[in-house]
Amino acid sequence: MMSHDPLTPVLTYRPQVDTPMLALPEGTCDSHVHVFGPASEFPYAQARSFTPVDAGKETLFALHRKLGISRCVIVQSACHGFDNSVVEDAIRAGGGNYLGIALVPKTVSDAELRRLADAGFRGIRFNFMKHLAASASVEEVVALTPRLADVGMHLQVHFESSLVHSLGAPLRNSAVPVVIDHMGRVNAELGPEHPDFSALADLMRHDNFYVKVSGIDRIDPHPPYGKGIALARRLLEVAPERCLWGTDWPHPNHTHVPDDAQLVDSLSAIAADARALQALLVDNPARLYRFPAVAHP
């Protein structure tokens, strides 16, 4: 993670993006992005660990047009705290093709969960990361899941790789599907036999777990991210029907700013064939997030 003053704006994306060489299938979903600001309209939370350069919805929409992406799931960022209005605004502007994941306190009311669900939020995210203050214990999070089930939401979790060993067992008691962010933040340089990755792969053998094979550039900081690609490919072999993909634009709290076109082109190496690519980018997110089905070519 970059070291910086949390009040100093940090550039988190490349203003110019090349067109990928890979032509994505119709209905491709970027299942993990954020939107930041503009701060004049959507102020950042006072208690935040970083301040990004504004990266609003119009910039995101333009990026997706360039990359050939037509669907998206926007994840509320901790820099905006529990005020999910920046994501809600982007969902409204997305014409049904953009949905959201919210951040809420453990004391969230049933009425607020219902309001968020009606506004296009499909899940609630909880962080277990050192640079992001945890808002609830895993036991409290699991206790919330029957209420998520009542409004048709799932649980999304973001954790340090070493925590997979302690979080896995309680998360198996979730009343709703559990989506694991960024391949559990494993260290790809330690390889597929490392205990953290092995535990993640074991979790993915349980039908209630999904994993985002986003973040090849986070778990492997060296372009073209060959070691990250290898682990993503392994997860697709374990659970091809429960893997999701996302750019993680605009790449907050990162060691470097990756090239989004390169991340798209890496999908050619992650997915074994056109059928696997269709499942990863179209069918799996359509089923989990409840986008309309897209006819197979």
Output 14 or 146, whichever has higher pLDDT. Answer: 146
* Domain carrying residue 43: 25-289
pLDDT classification of 1: cutoffs 50, 70, 90: very low
pLDDT tens-digit series, residues 108-131 = 999 999 999 999 999 999 999 875
Domain membership of residue 264 (yes or no) is yes
Q: Quick check: is 10 in a domain?
A: no
Question: Is residue 2 very low, low, confident or very high in pLDDT (cuts 50, 70, 90)?
Answer: very low
Tell me the pLDDT tens digit for each residue of 126-137.
999 875 666 799
Residue 134, domain member (yes or no): yes
Is 78 part of a structural domain of the chain? yes
> For 5-16, what is the mean pLDDT?
73
Which of 4, 91, 75, 80 minimizes the C-alpha distance to 39?
80
Please compute the mean of the pLDDT values over residues 55-80 and round it to a whole number.
96
Q: Please answer whether residues 288 and 241 qualify as being in contact, where contact means their C-beta atoms are separated by less than 8 angstroms.
A: no
Nearest Cα neighbor of 201 from 177, 180, 215 is 180
Tens-digit pLDDT profile for residues 212-228: 999 999 999 999 999 99
Domain count across the chain: 1
The CATH code of the domain that includes 126 is 3.20.20.140
14 part of a folded domain: no
pLDDT at residue 292 in the model: 76
The pLDDT tens digits of the residues spanning 129-176 come to: 875 666 799 999 999 999 999 999 999 999 999 999 999 999 999 999
Question: In this structure, is residue 4 part of a structural domain?
Answer: no
For the segment 22-35, what is each residue's pLDDT rounded down to a tens digit? 999 999 999 999 99
Instruction: Please compute the mean of the pLDDT values over residues 182-202 and round it to a whole number.
Output: 98
Domain presence at residue 57 = yes
Residue 259: pLDDT over 90:
yes
What region, left, alpha or beta, does residue 187 occupy, with left being phi > 0 and alpha being psi -120 to 50 degrees? beta
Residue 286: which H helix or E strand, with range? Answer: helix 284-289
Question: Which residues are the active-site residues?
Answer: 248
DSSP state of 80: G
Within-domain flag for 5: no
Q: Residue 93: which H helix or E strand, with range?
A: helix 85-93
pLDDT at 131: 59
Average pLDDT over residues 64-91: 96
This prediction has a pTM of 0.94
